[in-house]
Amino acid sequence: MTFCLNTTIVKPQEGEEIKSAVILLHGYGGDGKDISMLTLNWKRFLKNTIFLCPDGHEQCPINPNGFQWFDLTKEDNNYILQETHKAEKRLNLYIDEVKEEYKLKNSQICLSGFSQGCMMTLNVGLTSDQSFNSIVGFSGKIIEKNDLKSRLTSTPKVLLIHGNLDEVVSPNYLLDAKDFLLRNKINVETMMIENCGHQIPIEASSAALNFIKKNIVI
């Protein structure tokens, strides 16, 4: 099957039945191949799991070789919100295609993302009619709290990880997101990594792996 988004796919070991999936969303200007590097270690410990790393649906204007989930060139909150809703529709279509192709349910899928990908993961994962197995977000934030609150429909388990020296997406957004999720009765764990900027260090990758392994059906 050809998905609506170009995808880097990391399959389980030959002979392993696919029982779960992790969908990884890259950050602004990145691509699926870039974030798929996380799976090199995760694959060893998550048996029967397929990893899907799609490219964003738009080319990134500041990096023609990379992609974006929504445009950041305009400082207009209403415009950004409209763009995120467009991206959500494309991602929901993509997830439906993945579920059909691999005969999976939301309860067998972990959504994960870095930076802008984390933002989209929260929007898509918390507004689905059926809860996903879990959400893992790195260095992101909630795009617009009032918009998200008005559309909340599911309560997956959530892990959010951030570096305390992040100068791209302030680490204060981690605390902000935690407060929002707890107020809306969503189970959330958080991890602030010392001496870490806007990146996914080994410590963050390992914590995410342990969280996914604890929750996902394998």
Q: What is the mean pLDDT of the segment spanning 32-43? A: 95
- Note the pLDDT of residue 217: 66
The angle, 0 to 180 degrees and rounded to 10, between the axes of the packed helices 116-126 and 77-102 is 70
Half-sphere exposure of 185 (CA within 13 A, CB side): 3
Domains of the chain: 7-215 (3.40.50.1820)
- Note the pLDDT of residue 190: 98
Q: What is the mean pLDDT of the segment spanning 140-160? A: 97
- Note the pLDDT of residue 72: 87
Answer whether 50's CB lies under 8 Å from 139's CB.
Answer: no
Read off the pLDDT of residues 165-203 as tens digits, 9 standing for 90 and up.
999 999 999 999 999 999 999 999 999 999 999 999 999
Read off the pLDDT of residues 73-131 as tens digits, 9 standing for 90 and up.
888 999 999 999 999 999 999 999 999 999 999 999 999 999 999 999 999 999 999 99
Amino acid 95 reads I
The pair of structure tokens assigned to 189 is: 């764990």
* Confidence band for 1, pLDDT divided at 50, 70 and 90: confident
Per the listing, tokens 């990146």 go with 199
